[in-house]
Structure formats: structure tokens, C-alpha cells
Amino acid sequence: MSTTTHAKTILITGASAGIGRDTAIRLAERGHRIIATARRREKLEALASEHAGITAVPLDVTDASSIARARTSVLELTDGYGVDAIINNAGYGQIGPLELIDDEALRRQFDTNVFGLMAVTRAFLPEMRERGHGRVVNISSLGGRIAFPLMGAYTATKFALEALSDSLRLELRPFGVRVVLIEPGVIRTEFADTAINSTSTLGQGSVYQPALERLEQLNAQMHRTAVSTRTVTRAIQAAIERRRPRARYVAPVFAGLGVGLLRRLPTALTDWLMRSFAGLTPKRLVHATSGQARLTDRAASAERRAA
């Protein structure tokens, strides 16, 4: 497990909270120069003021002009050197049944998690390639290995990221640039809560509402048993500092075992397990929907009597 500990200049997207923030702090404490980027300028500036070795640079990964400005700022900060590593962490989760997610919402999900990530990578890659060394660390998810119900939009972006990262790894290796995927499991951050809260109205009153309510319950249960971000930041540190990092790091390791098992089961059995776990069974949905219909009918009758 050979590591290199000389200080690197590292750009991190989505560094204002969660895994991105904790990674910035961890790597800065190890002596690396961190360029922390995100859309939320106030949180970035607070992070930079509280921790030595961190510089805040505003960046919206979905805005080409913002990326261009960030590149200019980084080149000025580094006297034209650029960065030694990119950690593509910015992203969010669009939750909801695919039938109800419109084209605009689906495009936004891909704009941030896929197209924005690639735009940032292209912007900061040239100097690394020309020097003959560098790292691109992409924060994926175990959702990039197996799709989950009601998370189709999000997992689709992670499947895309897995493929893009595999291709990038092959294309950039001859130039000394290594590409590494980090695949977190259930981690104790605001990510899932934010995803569910931001899309909480999607599906309300629809046939999918019982399943979405079940998802909220599962999220609360998993949050209690989730591991801390330390597990992920440790893997990211290895991806940055090891001379020969692995192509993929699952964090925590045991989370990958369950996904690996599901991928080996017959599809019909995996589907049944997934549907049962998510509450997407005909009996549950029909019962809940008919119950809602009865409540609606009773309310309407009460209103008529009151009138």
C-alpha cells in the first residue's frame, strides 16, 4: 500500500456540505492545498475561514461561464499550474416514480450529475495531462451498480458516471492521469433527506404515494444505522495519495456485499425483493389507494351534508 504524501493542489466540487466538506477538511489537515467549490458562497467562505489550507472558489457545475471563471481563478491562484487532482462530488438526487418525473426535471438531474461533472473535468484536465500525472476522483454510488425503485433518475446518472469513468480511466492512463470511482453506500449526511424533502410533493395523491411514504420511513430507519462520512473520506484520501489506487473503492466495504449478492440473483427474484422492500406490491398499493378513495368519498359526502 504505497502512498505519496507530498502536498497536492486539489479541486473539490460540492464542497459546502456533506462528503465534499468533510473531504476538504480531511485533506487540508494532511497538508494538501484545497480549492473548495460550490454554489453556496457563504458556506464556502465559512469553510475557508475556519480551516487553513482551503481556498473558496464559487462554481456552478451546470453553468459554462461559471466553470470558465473558476478555471481562470484557479490558474491565477496557482500561477498557471492548475490542479493535481479533481474530486467530482457535486450532485443531488431526484426522487420519485419515473412516470411522474418530467423531461425538465430529468435533464436537470443529468445536467448536474453527468454533464456538469464532465464539463468540470474537461476544464481542469489539460494541465494534468500535459504534466504526465494527476487524479480524477468521481463520487458515484452503489446506485451506479444496481437501480432502485423511485430513484430511477438518480441511479441512471450514476450508471452513466460508472461508464464514463471506466472509459476515462482507459483513455487517460497513458498520460499518467488515474481515474478512480468512489461508491458510497448509506452515509450519514443530509443528502437523502434533502432529496426526499425537495421532491416530497411529487407523487402526492397519486397511486405511488404509499410507496413514497414507505421510502421516507426507510430513509429514517437507514439514517439511524448509516455510517459517518469518515468511511468515504478515508477512501477518497486513498484515491488521492496512493501511488497505485484501485479503480473503485466501495465505502463502507460491507455495503458492496449486499449489492453484489443482488446482482448475482435471478432478475425475477431481485425484482420481487426490491418491490417488497419498497412497498411496490399490488396489494399494498391497491389497498392504500382504495383507502384514500374511501376517505375522499367520505369527505365529499360530509361536505354535501354540511351544505
> Any idea which residues carry the catalytic annotation?
154
Nearest-angstrom CA–CA distance, 272 and 278: 10
User: Of 130, 146, 144, nearest to 181 (Cα)?
Assistant: 144
Virtual torsion, Cα 156, 159, 165, 170, nearest 10 deg: -130
Angle in degrees, CA 11, 165, 148, rounded to 5: 105
Nearest-angstrom CA–CA distance, 42 and 286: 47
Q: For residue 8, give Cα distances in angstroms to 84, 128, 243.
A: 6, 12, 13
User: Of 166, 175, 161, nearest to 118 (Cα)?
Assistant: 161
Nearest-angstrom CA–CA distance, 190 and 96: 18
Q: For residue 289, give Cα distances in angstroms to 206, 212, 258, 286.
A: 8, 13, 32, 5
Burial (CB count <10 Å: 0-12, 13-18, 19+), residue 173: exposed
